[in-house]
Amino acid sequence: MTTEIKTRYVTRQPEILSGEPIIVGTRTPVRAIVENWRLGMRPEEIPSHLPHLSLAQVFDALSFYLDNQAEINDYIERNHVSEDLVHPRVQARLNQR
């Protein structure tokens, strides 16, 4: 198992999400945190939606993103779910924001 530590809380492991940057000790990709942030969620709110994460992990992931925007944006684009595949209740909730 090869692990590449990028920051204190961000790492890559080839066997988890094909090496996409994740939070150390989890399978949570940095892109998940970034997507919540882009939806207008304050960093302090993100741990309430991803309770296994600490605020320090969230800020480190956002810092990693700011240093690696092109890469993370590419992961976000590759994992984008078409709106016609999103359940209507989920879409309604997203539209409330």
pLDDT per 10-residue tile (average), the chain, 97 residues: 77 94 96 94 96 98 96 92 76 74
Check residue 3 and give its pLDDT.
62
How many angstroms separate the CA atoms of 2 and 11, rounded?
Answer: 11
Check residue 95 and give its pLDDT.
77
Angle CA 37–40–43, to nearest 5: 45
Structure tokens at 55: 């605020």
Check residue 53 and give its pLDDT.
98
Total tally of structural domains belonging to the chain: 1
> What is the pTM (predicted TM-score) of this model?
0.80
CATH number at residue 55: 1.10.10.10
Domain housing 91: 4-95
The residue count for the chain? 97
